[in-house]
C-alpha cells in the first residue's frame, strides 16, 4: 500500500498552493496593474494642471481686485474735483481782471488781490495733495489727449503745432486727464520733428482729447 501524507492539512497549505504550477499568477493581472497605474498617473497630472490653473486664476483675480481698489480710491473724487475747478477758474478770472497798476496804487485793492492769489495757491495745493495736478502746456507740442485747440495762430516764430496761449488751465488726476486745457496752437511755422511714440499724432483739432471725460473705473 503506498504511503499517504502524514499531515492531513497538506492540501490546504497556502504556500503549497502558491508553489503549485497550476495556481501561478496570470500575466493579464500584471497588465491590468500597469494600466491602472498609468490611468492614476494621468489623472494625477490632470488634477495638478487644474490646480495650477486655478491658483493662477486666483492670483490674477487678486491683482485685478487690488488694481480696481487703487483706481477706485484714486479716481473716486473725479466729479467732485471737476466741480472744485470752477472755483479755481473764478479766482483766476478775478486775478486777471484786476489791473496791476491800479492794485499798485490802491493798498486796499492790492491787499484784496494778494488774498485772492493766496486762496488760489492754497486751493491748488489742496488739490495736488489729493492727486489733482495742473497741466502747463504753454510752449509745448500740442497734445490732443490733454488739450483742446480753440483756434490757430499764424506765426513763424515757433514750430507749427506749438501751444502759444492757454485760455483755461487743464488738470489731470493720476494718469488721466480730468479736464483738457483750452489752448491756441501755432500755424505756419517750421514743421516739428515726428514724435518718438509709436502712436500717430493727430493734427490740431477743435475737440477735446478722448481721455478728457474719464472718471472713476466706471463712468458716472
Summarised one tens digit per residue, pLDDT across range 5-63 is 555 544 555 554 444 444 445 666 777 788 888 888 888 989 999 999 999 999 998 88
Phi, psi of 93 (to 5 degrees): -65, -40
Work out the angle at residue 129's Cα, subtended by the Cα atoms of residues 124 and 135, and round it to the nearest 5 degrees. 50
Helices (H), 7-106: 14-19, 27-75, 78-97, 100-105
Please tell me the pTM assigned to this model: 0.58
Distance separating alpha carbons of residues 220 and 200, to the nearest angstrom: 30
Q: What is the pLDDT of residues 122-170, one digit of tens each?
A: 999 999 998 899 998 999 999 999 999 999 999 988 999 999 999 999 9
Distance separating alpha carbons of residues 207 and 147, to the nearest angstrom: 9
Amino acid at each position: 500500500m503506498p504511503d499517504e501524507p502524514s499531515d492531513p492539512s497538506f492540501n490546504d497549505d497556502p504556500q503549497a498552493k502558491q508553489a503549485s504550477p497550476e495556481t501561478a499568477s496570470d500575466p493579464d493581472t500584471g497588465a491590468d496593474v500597469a494600466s491602472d497605474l498609468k490611468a492614476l498617473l494621468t489623472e494625477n497630472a490632470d488634477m495638478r494642471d487644474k490646480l495650477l490653473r486655478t491658483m493662477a486664476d486666483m492670483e490674477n483675480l487678486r491683482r485685478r481686485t487690488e488694481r480696481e481698489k487703487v483706481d477706485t480710491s484714486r479716481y473716486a473724487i473725479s466729479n467732485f474735483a471737476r466741480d472744485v475747478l470752477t472755483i479755481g477758474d473764478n479766482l483766476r478770472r478775478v486775478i486777471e481782471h484786476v489791473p496791476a497798476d491800479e492794485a499798485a496804487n490802491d493798498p486796499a485793492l492790492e491787499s484784496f488781490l494778494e488774498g485772492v492769489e493766496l486762496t488760489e495757491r492754497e486751493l491748488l495745493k489742496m488739490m495736488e495733495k489729493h492727486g489733482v495736478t495742473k497741466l502747463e502746456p504753454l510752449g509745448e507740442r500740442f497734445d490732443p489727449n490733454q488739450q483742446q485747440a480753440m483756434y490757430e495762430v499764424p506765426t513763424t516764430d515757433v514750430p507749427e503745432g506749438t501751444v502759444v496761449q492757454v485760455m483755461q488751465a487743464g488738470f489731470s488726476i493720476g494718469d488721466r486727464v480730468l479736464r483738457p486745457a483750452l489752448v491756441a496752437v501755432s500755424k505756419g511755422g517750421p514743421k516739428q520733428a515726428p514724435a518718438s511714440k509709436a502712436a500717430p499724432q493727430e493734427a490740431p483739432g477743435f475737440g477735446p482729447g478722448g481721455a478728457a471725460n474719464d472718471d472713476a473705473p466706471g463712468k458716472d
